[in-house]
């Protein structure tokens, strides 16, 4: 399981428990049980705050994976890529573009290497038997 899936799961469980706490707080309010309302409200907050954090973090990881996949597709389509071209495409510095390519390679979004001139040379995936034209 990847990190994004774990954070999605944590967010779902935390927010579900916060929802249960809110329902219990509402039931306590209807029954006029002040202590029960206070306890359920506290539990709701204890689970709501981390649940929202986990949800936001999972969304950031999703956006990050999407950006890495975009950079990988751009590099693969180009074959040999000047880092400054990717930097221009993504509106970042050359140093950041280099880090993005290294991260994409490290995390398996892209295969390739940097040559002696500092260009990135993408490896095209080997076609599987039966994938090509007849």
pLDDT at 127: 59
d(CA 101, CA 88): 14
DSSP class of residue 109?
S
Decide if 88 is inside a domain.
yes
pTM, whole model, 2 decimals?
0.71
The pair phi, psi for residue 112, each rounded to 5°, is: 165, -170
pLDDT at 129: 65
pLDDT at 132: 54
CATH code, 62: 1.10.10.10
Can you read off the two tokens belonging to residue 66? 């999407």
- Residue range of the domain that includes 107: 3-122
pLDDT at 118: 81
Decide if 128 is inside a domain.
no
Number of domains composing the chain:
1
d(CA 104, CA 100): 6
Angle at 52 between CA 33 and CA 18, to 5 degrees: 25
Q: Starting at the edge strand that comes first in sequence, how are the strands of the sheet with 112-114 ordered?
A: 80-81, 120-122, 112-114
Decide if 21 is inside a domain.
yes
Q: Which residues, listed in sequence order, are joined to residue 113 by a DSSP beta bridge?
A: 121
Chunked into runs of 10 residues, the chain (134 residues) has average pLDDT values of 89 96 93 91 94 95 89 87 87 89 89 86 70 57
d(CA 122, CA 80): 6
Decide if 75 is inside a domain.
yes
Decide if 118 is inside a domain.
yes
């Amino acid at each position: 399981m990847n990190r994004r899936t774990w954070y999605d799961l944590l967010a779902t469980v935390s927010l579900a428990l916060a929802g249960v706490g809110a329902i219990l707080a509402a039931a306590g309010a209807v029954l006029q049980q002040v202590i029960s309302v206070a306890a359920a409200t506290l539990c709701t907050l204890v689970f709501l705050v981390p649940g929202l954090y986990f949800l936001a973090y999972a969304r950031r990881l999703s956006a990050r994976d999407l950006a890495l996949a975009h950079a990988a597709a751009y590099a693969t389509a180009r074959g040999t890529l000047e880092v400054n071209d990717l930097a221009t495409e993504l509106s970042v510095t050359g140093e950041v573009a280099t880090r993005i390519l290294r991260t994409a390679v490290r995390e398996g979004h892209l295969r390739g290497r940097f040559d002696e001139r500092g260009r990135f040379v993408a490896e095209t995936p080997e076609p599987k038997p039966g994938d090509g034209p007849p």
